[in-house]
């Protein structure tokens, strides 16, 4: 298992997030500007006004659906991140560390060139707890 992060995958994921934001914001801005131009500046009346009201209502429903999809994608990304962190915690690894300690980290050379294994005594898990 490679411990190096896949930068291309991370880049695609971040770009997808920003594209999601940009798509929704552009849809929202287009809706607001168009509705302002139609209803405030042009002010259609009669049968034409009725058709434009129906079109405006349909577009508004599309905007609401797009907003729900936008929120769902955000929640999905957060859920994926939480599950990844939960899995890393369960396996005992951290975000920046490989899951398995490499062998060369446990070996060193002595003064005369012999390979020695480094044995480190880690603190016990309950070292800070007092016996009662």
Q: What is the pLDDT of residue 68?
A: 97
Residue 104 token pair: 């060369």
pLDDT at res. 24: 96
Does the pTM of the predicted model rise above 0.75?
no
Q: With 50 as the cut, is the pLDDT of residue 132 above it?
A: no
Q: How far apart are CA 88 and CA 99, in angstroms?
A: 8
Higher pLDDT, 117 or 76: 76
pLDDT tens for each residue of 20-63: 999 999 999 999 999 999 989 988 999 999 999 999 999 999 99
pLDDT at residue 93, as a whole number: 56
Helices then strands, counting H and E runs in the chain, come out as 2, 2
Mean pLDDT of 115-132: 59
Asked if residue 64 has pLDDT above 60, the reply is yes
Residue 38 CA from chain centroid, whole number: 38
Mean pLDDT calculated for residue range 83-109: 69
Spatial separation of the C-alpha atoms in residues 35 and 38, rounded to whole Å = 5
Each residue's pLDDT tens digit, 88-99: 888 875 555 555
Q: Which value, to the nearest 10 degrees, does the dihedral of the CA atoms of residues 59, 65, 71, 72 take?
A: -160
**Confidence band (pLDDT; 50, 70, 90) for 109?**
confident
- Give the DSSP letter string of 46-88: HHHHHHHHHHHHHHHHHHHHHHHHHHHHHHHHHHHHHHHHHHH
Q: Which residue has the tokens 């609401």?
A: 64
């Amino acid at each position: 298992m490679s411990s190096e992060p896949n930068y291309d995958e991370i880049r695609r994921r971040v770009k997808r997030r920003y594209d999601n934001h940009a798509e929704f914001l552009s849809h929202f801005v287009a809706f607001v500007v168009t509705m302002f131009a139609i209803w405030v500046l042009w002010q259609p009346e009669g049968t034409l006004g009725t058709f434009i009201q129906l079109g405006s209502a349909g577009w508004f429903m599309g905007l609401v659906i797009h907003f729900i999809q936008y929120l769902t994608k955000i929640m999905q990304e957060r859920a994926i991140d939480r599950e990844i962190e939960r899995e890393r915690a369960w396996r005992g690894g951290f975000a920046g560390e490989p899951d398995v300690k490499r062998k060369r980290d446990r070996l060193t050379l002595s003064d005369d060139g012999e390979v020695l294994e480094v044995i480190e005594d880690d603190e016990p898990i309950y070292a800070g707890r007092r016996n009662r």
